[in-house]
A = this chain, B = another copy of it.
Amino acid sequence: MSENSASFEARLKASAAAVETCLAGILTDRTQADEIARPAPLLSAMRHGVLNGGKRLRPFLVMESAAFFGGDRQAALRIGAALECVHSYSLVHDDLPAMDDDDLRRGQPTVHIAYGEANAILAGDSLLTLAFDIIAAPETNLTDRQKTELVLTLARASGIGGMAGGQALDLAAETSAPDEAAIVTLQAMKTGALIRFACEAGAIIAGSSADERRLMRSYGETIGLAFQLADDLLDLTADAKTMGKATGKDAARGKGTLVSLRGQDWAETRLATLVEEAAALLEPFGARADILNETARFIANRSH
């Protein structure tokens, strides 16, 4: 491991720890203004779904994108925590028996296994709701204009036109055979939209120009493609122990991925190209973009 990547890993770990602390501080049993009570079993199920020691890659992207333009770290941390609530809710619902029916996530029982199906549905719902609460809350030190833009952009990235729509396409793909264009759309929605949001959010938090915001959207789209491609490769090659969840499930279901359509060699070449494309976007910024470039490489090369 190079010195650079060692320091990158340390930075990612520090950010994940900060996100964990932030989320743990939000998900306590203290009721907030306008709340009536926080029922204990639901709170536990929410905590189980979100305080799971994940890599917190999406919050890291928010924080590094904000830092890239000089945005406030504390505000970026809270927006990252909000985004992680959306990501976690999607996993809780995706694991349900009616969806992917998974018993294991990061080596732990999934929320419906630990707390029952009804509580898992409600925990997912409550995590999604909490994301918008966190953005709009007085503790998030941003202008109302910034908060409104973040709410709208996150809602569009998460709803029918983004992640949830991608999940619906994914369901349909189990019984149809989507072509390459359909797979690209599905993946841009299911996983790409939240990653793009993470990068764009950094620019919003920093009060960047429209051009800078567009740049971060492009960077986000590019690394989003790399993320999904790496994920499809891992599903093919990694074992369940490394991943902490069932693997090989896409192939077992006959679900088409770009890797299954185009092959592993193509995918590895394409990954390298995507990393170069991200670097080309950031080239005007010189060494200031080192971490964002390192992030693109990390996403393309991750082993779990």
Interface: A169 (CB within 8 A): yes
Against B, the Cβ 8 Å flags (1 = close, 0 = not) of A150-170 are 011111111111101111110
Question: Are A161 and B35 also in contact (CB < 8 A) when A124-B125, A148-B144, A155-B130 are?
Answer: yes
Q: How far is the CB of A205 from chain B (nearest CB, A)?
A: 15
Distance of A129 Cα from B46 Cα, bound (Å): 18
Q: How far is the CB of A83 from chain B (nearest CB, A)?
A: 13
Complex contacts, A157 vs chain B, CB 8 Å: 34
Interface: A6 (CB within 8 A): no
Distance of A164 Cα from B41 Cα, bound (Å): 12
Interface: A74 (CB within 8 A): no
Cβ 8 A contact of A158, one of B119, B129, B164: B129
- The answer to whether A41 and B160 have CB atoms under 8 Å apart is no
Cβ 8 A contact of A136, one of B42, B89, B152, B162: B152
| Segment of A13-21, A91-99, A247-255, A279-287 in the binding face | A91-99
- The answer to whether B156 and A33 have CB atoms under 8 Å apart is yes
Question: Are A156 and B122 also in contact (CB < 8 A) when A136-B148, A164-B42, A164-B129 are?
Answer: no
| Segment of A65-73, A185-193, A234-242, A256-264 in the binding face | A185-193
Q: How far is the CB of A6 from chain B (nearest CB, A)?
A: 37
Complex contacts, A25 vs chain B, CB 8 Å: none
- The answer to whether B188 and A36 have CB atoms under 8 Å apart is yes
- The answer to whether A36 and B155 have CB atoms under 8 Å apart is no
Cβ 8 A contact of A42, one of B152, B165, B193: B165
- The answer to whether A155 and B171 have CB atoms under 8 Å apart is no
Question: Are A39 and B160 also in contact (CB < 8 A) when A99-B118, A117-B98 are?
Answer: yes
Interface: A133 (CB within 8 A): yes
Q: How far is the CB of A115 from chain B (nearest CB, A)?
A: 10
Cβ 8 A contact of A37, one of B143, B165, B171: B165
Distance of A270 Cα from B155 Cα, bound (Å): 41
- Complex A-B: 16 CB contacts under 8 Å: A34-B157, A34-B161, A35-B160, A35-B162, A36-B165, A36-B166, A43-B160, A93-B125, A98-B118, A122-B167, A125-B125, A130-B155, A132-B155, A133-B152, A143-B144, A147-B151
Interface contacts beyond A39-B172, A96-B121, A143-B144: sample of 16 additional A-B pairs, CB < 8 Å, sorted by A: A34-B162, A35-B161, A36-B165, A36-B166, A37-B189, A38-B160, A41-B168, A42-B165, A98-B117, A122-B168, A125-B125, A126-B165, A129-B159, A132-B132, A144-B148, A151-B151
Contacts from A to B (Cβ < 8 Å) = 31-39, 41-43, 46, 89, 93, 96, 98-99, 116-119, 121-122, 124-126, 128-130, 132-133, 135-137, 143-145, 147-149, 151-162, 164-169, 171-172, 185, 188-189, 193
